[in-house]
Amino acid sequence: MAKSGLLKSSIAKKIAMALSGLFLMLFLAQHFFINMTSVFSESVFNSISHFMGTNPLIQFVIQPILIVGVIFHFIMGFTLDIQNRKARPVGYASYNGAANASWASRNMIVSGSVILAFLALHFYDFWVPEMVYKYVECNPADETRYFHELAEKFVSPVRTGLYSLSFILLSLHLQHGFSSSFQSIGQNNKYTKGLKGFGFWFSIIIPLGFVFIALFHHFNH
């Protein structure tokens, strides 16, 4: 009975993690499309960024939900990883995981930890200064500052390299995560193949798009 309850608890955690992961993918896509405008038009990027940074619904409703979603997703990830490790038999050490699973699927906790570290840096670099600028220093609204603040972050080759590496690991993380999300929520129908294909290309195009944006600003500063 206890074993059945544990199994149900594990499935519930996997479903919750899958749904939070899909929610974060929506944010990632939105973030990508906004940042991509900086490659084509400084004024458009400034206008969108100013709207996002001053809209009360985004600032006081969507943004807190996003932060909670990020924290929840990673807590679930670490919890499930610890739970899975405890559930493995003693003889598991002799199991050749590389022969049965991809690197990404065997090292989700590794790529996830790197991505979490990157997000912490990203918040420190962008979100914290933005909050200080607006709510601590109470500076007047400047609709032209966003592009230059973004471009300035990619002047350093070290920062640009770390940023790019983080998104390559995110690509691997997404490739496995998107596929396993459908397994977790039990979706297996005529749309599954197409959705998995979409997930595969999403996990390549979006992260590499962020790498392109970083390199573009690095070499054009």
For the chain, list the strands marked E by DSSP.
none
All residues at 6 or more sequence positions from 79 whose CB lies less than 8 Å from its CB, including other chains: 13
Other beta carbons within 10 angstroms of residue 58's beta carbon come to: 13
Residue 105 corresponds to which tokens in the numbers above? Answer: 């699927």
Q: What is the pLDDT of residue 35?
A: 94
The residue whose two tokens read 């999300």 is: 181
Beta carbons of 78 and 110 less than 8 angstroms apart: no
CA distance 156 to 213: 14
Q: 3-state DSSP call for residue 203?
A: helix
Residue 81 clears pLDDT 80, i.e. is over it: no
The predicted pLDDT at position 183 comes to 61
> What's the pLDDT score for residue 186?
57
d(CA 166, CA 160): 10
Q: What is the mean pLDDT of residues 31-39?
A: 95
What pLDDT, on the 0 to 100 scale, is given for residue 184? 56
d(CA 156, CA 143): 25
What pLDDT is stored for residue 88 in this prediction?
A: 61
Contacts of residue 198, defined as CB under 8 A and 6 or more positions apart, other chains included, come to none
Which whole number is the average pLDDT over 12-26? 77
Cβ-based neighbour number of residue 192 at 10 Å: 13
> What percent of the chain clears pLDDT 70, i.e. is strictly above it?
77
172 vs 48, higher pLDDT: 48
Distance, in Å, from the CA atom of 149 to the CA atom of 120, rounded to the nearest integer, reads: 18
32, 210 contact by CB (below 8 A) = yes
Query: How does pLDDT run across 167-206, given as a tens digit for each residue?
Result: 888 888 888 777 666 665 555 666 667 777 888 899 999 9
**Two tokens at 209?**
């798009």
Q: Per mean pLDDT, which range of 4-8, 52-56, 158-162, 209-213 is the poorest?
A: 4-8
- Do residues 76 and 58 touch, judged by C-beta distance below 8 A? no
Query: pLDDT at position 105, please?
Result: 57
Task: Kindly report whether the global pTM for this prediction surpasses the value 0.85.
Answer: no
